[in-house]
Every structure is written in structure tokens, then in C-alpha cells.
Amino acid sequence: MSRLFRDVDRGTRCPHGSVVCIGAFDGLHLGHRALVRHTVARARALGVPAVALSFEPLPREFFAPAAPPPRLLLPRAKAAGLLALDADQVGLLRFNGELSRWSGEEFVERVLVERLAAREVWVGPQFRFGKARGGDIALLRRMGEAAGFGAHEIEPVHLDGERVSSTRIRETLLAGDFAAAARLLGRPYAIGGHVVRGRQLGRTLGFPTANLRFGGKTPALSGIYATWVHGIGERPRPSVSSLGTRPTVAGVEPLLEAHLFDFDGDLYGRRIEVEFVAHLRAELKFPDLATLTEQMHRDAAQARESLALDAQRRRLDPASPPDPLRALAGAAEHTAAIAAEKNA
């Protein structure tokens, strides 16, 4: 049986009860992890499955398609990460016109009671759900008393006196403070996916790239970066990456293009993770490809310098965060990535 479900009325049911957590889980930061791990612990204590519920697209994306909020984590990686945190079932419920019209009461009755037979429901601070955001922890507790489940709000997680939140992580990324983002996430910030074929313009210019698409999502970053690419051998590969719409060649959809230094191999179809280390510059439109190529050489040289310093720092600092694959890796991640792709 698949551990991932997308539809409210089909797939996973928990007739003997479950412990459920609900959230956007964008980024799977320290606060999200605390919520999921507590849910799993309570489920193990009660001898029932732990279910993590989220929505895809996120409600904010559904209601603002022309200006969607930037995403820290793509759906496949979110499903993989939730399963890697030992959730028994993950629901990425399709947020569509029908679901957007459900009241909070209808969501509780149809999903938490009828389908999942929830015995406990756990949410983060200020969690809202249902039509016009009418559902909250008070509604969960009131309906829980009648339906026989407990509803609980977990305390926010603070780090160095600062509340951990997806909003704060986006701010640190935009500021180029990847060390701060890593502390709030509990791992270095990375974007993962399967390498797809592009126009091969980079190869023509002497900079072949491994390309990752975003499936209509808006990435949290834009620009040129020094990066490590994980998933090719035991050690991460140094690279320089461009993330954006490629204005010089009239691109439209965002694309992540990673040029691996001193590497010549076929990566199409392979799953990689691109870890961001330093912001080099903003994405620019150049007058011609020759000027672009000259700048790419300068970017590559600067990226090599940044990565050499980062490698030295990690050797000297045993407290450096683990690489993103080790933080979220395992068979569960790989299996979930494939399942999420098929069900997306």
C-alpha cells in the first residue's frame, strides 16, 4: 500500500485510529520537524499510524496564481522528508475549487473523523484552515470533544531567541545568509530533483549544466550561486549554479542550472541535490552570448574561491550542519520521491 495519498475520498483510511499533524510544512524546518516527531511519538505510544497532512498546491498558491509565494521545498521533497521523519502516511491533499469551499467543520468531519478516525490532532501556532480560514485550534477542540479526539497546539520553536518560521528562512536566503538558514532548517538549504534535458546552450558555451525544473512553483531564490551538488558519488561536487528565468535567452519558466566543475558525464534522469553556499550576483540580461560567457567565467572563478573557503570551514568546524542528503536521505526519501512524482 502506498504511504502517500492525494485525494480526500480515495486511498488511505485508518479505521482503528491515527494521530494526525497538519501544516504547510514548507521547508520542513526545525519547527515542522518538532511537530512531526511529536506526532510520531504520540502515535507510537497509542499504537496507531502517524499521519502528516498538507496541501498541494498550498492554499496561498491556489488563491494567488499570478503572484504565488516563493517555495522553500517542492512537493516531492516535502513528501520524502515527511516520510523520512517516520510519518506512516503522508497526505498531500489536492487543494482545488471544491476543497477551498469546505468549511472547517466539513474538513474535520470528512477527513479527520470519517477517513482518519483521528484520536489526536496536532497543529502549529496560529494554524488556520477551512473556507475563509474559519477553522482554528478552538474549532478542533470543540469538534474533538464531540468526536472523541484531542486537539493540541505545539509550542513554537525558538533558536537563539528567534522564532523559527518559513518566512524568516526566506528572509535569510534572500539576504544570502545561508549559514543562518541552515541553522533554522536544521540542514543546509538545497533544492533537489531529477535532471532534465534543456536546450544545451550551456554546453555550446563551454558550461554544460544539470538542469532542474520547478513544476510551476516559484523558487525562493534567484541569481548566481556557489553550490555543492550531492548525489554523484560519495562526495559533493563543486559547482556554480544559475537560478532564474534566463533573461538573456528569453526564458520564461524558472530553471536551476548547475555547472559541475571538472566533470563530464551523463546525469539525465538522475536525482541530485543542489546545496547553496554563497550568492555571487543577481541574474542579469546581457547584450549577447559572448558577454554572457565572459561573465560565466568570472562567476565560475568566484564560485571556486567561495567553495574552497566553505570546504576549509567544514573541515575545521565539526559542528557544521550535515549535507542535505544525509539530513533527509534514505530509502524512504527515494521511494517517496518516485511515488509523489507519479501522483503529482
Same domain? For 26 and 106 the reply is: yes
pTM of the model: 0.88
Question: Range of 23's domain?
Answer: 4-160
% residues pLDDT > 90 (the chain): 76
Please check the confidence at residue 326 and state whether its pLDDT lies above 90: no
Which residues fall within 8 angstroms of residue 65, CB to CB, at 6 or more apart? none
Residue 336 lies in a domain: no
Same domain? For 25 and 148 the reply is: yes
- What local confidence, expressed as pLDDT, does residue 324 receive? 54
| CATH number of the domain that residue 197 is part of | 2.40.30.30
Helix (H, G, I), strand (E, B) or coil at 209: coil
Which residues fall within 8 angstroms of residue 79, CB to CB, at 6 or more apart? 4, 90, 92, 336, 337, 339, 340
Q: Which of 47-61, 70-84, 249-263 has the lowest mean pLDDT?
A: 249-263
Same domain? For 13 and 136 the reply is: yes
Q: 53 or 319: which carries more pLDDT confidence?
A: 53
Q: Which of 72-81, 105-114, 201-210, 260-269 has the lowest mean pLDDT?
A: 201-210
Same domain? For 299 and 151 the reply is: no
Tell me which H or E stretch contains 18: strand 18-22
pLDDT average, residue stretch 72-95: 96
Model confidence band, residue 205 (pLDDT cutoffs 50, 70, 90): confident
pLDDT average, residue stretch 335-344: 41
Same domain? For 280 and 195 the reply is: yes
For residue 317, give the C-alpha cell.
Answer: 568546524
Same domain? For 277 and 317 the reply is: yes
Taking a C-beta distance cutoff of 8 angstroms, is the pair 26, 58 a contact? yes
Please check the confidence at residue 318 and state whether its pLDDT lies above 60: no
Same domain? For 19 and 55 the reply is: yes
Q: How far apart are CA 81 and CA 334, in angstroms?
A: 10
Q: How far apart are CA 150 and CA 65, in angstroms?
A: 35
Model confidence band, residue 341 (pLDDT cutoffs 50, 70, 90): very low
Q: In 157-242, which ranges are continuous DSSP H helix?
A: 166-174, 178-185, 201-204
pLDDT average, residue stretch 28-50: 98
Hey, which of 63-72, 117-126, 238-247 has the most confident mean pLDDT?
Answer: 117-126
pLDDT average, residue stretch 83-110: 96
Residue 338 lies in a domain: no
pLDDT average, residue stretch 196-200: 84
Model confidence band, residue 201 (pLDDT cutoffs 50, 70, 90): confident
Please check the confidence at residue 256 and state whether its pLDDT lies above 90: yes
- What local confidence, expressed as pLDDT, does residue 315 receive? 82
Please check the confidence at residue 339 and state whether its pLDDT lies above 50: no
Same domain? For 191 and 154 the reply is: no
Please state, in angstroms and as integers, the Cα–Cα distance from residue 136 to each residue in 50, 142, 193, 237, following that order. Answer: 21, 10, 34, 45
Radius of gyration of the chain (CA): 21
- What local confidence, expressed as pLDDT, does residue 269 receive? 94
Residue 252 lies in a domain: yes
Q: How far apart are CA 254 and CA 79, in angstroms?
A: 22
Same domain? For 136 and 36 the reply is: yes
Same domain? For 11 and 154 the reply is: yes
Taking a C-beta distance cutoff of 8 angstroms, is the pair 234, 228 a contact? no
| CATH number of the domain that residue 127 is part of | 3.40.50.620
pLDDT average, residue stretch 120-141: 96
Same domain? For 72 and 133 the reply is: yes
Residue 302 lies in a domain: yes
Which of 59, 48, 36, 172 minimizes the C-alpha distance to 107?
Answer: 59
Taking a C-beta distance cutoff of 8 angstroms, is the pair 81, 328 a contact? yes
Residue 295 lies in a domain: yes
% residues pLDDT > 70 (the chain): 91
For residue 83, give the C-alpha cell.
Answer: 516520510
Q: 12 or 41: which carries more pLDDT confidence?
A: 41
> Cα 310 to the chain's mean position, in Å?
23
Q: How far apart are CA 22 and CA 122, in angstroms?
A: 7
What is the CB neighbour count within 10 angstroms for residue 178? 22
pLDDT average, residue stretch 246-266: 87
Q: Total domain count for the chain? A: 2
Same domain? For 32 and 91 the reply is: yes
Residue 241 lies in a domain: yes
pLDDT average, residue stretch 163-182: 96
Please check the confidence at residue 168 and state whether its pLDDT lies above 70: yes
Residue 166 lies in a domain: no
> Cα 161 to the chain's mean position, in Å?
24
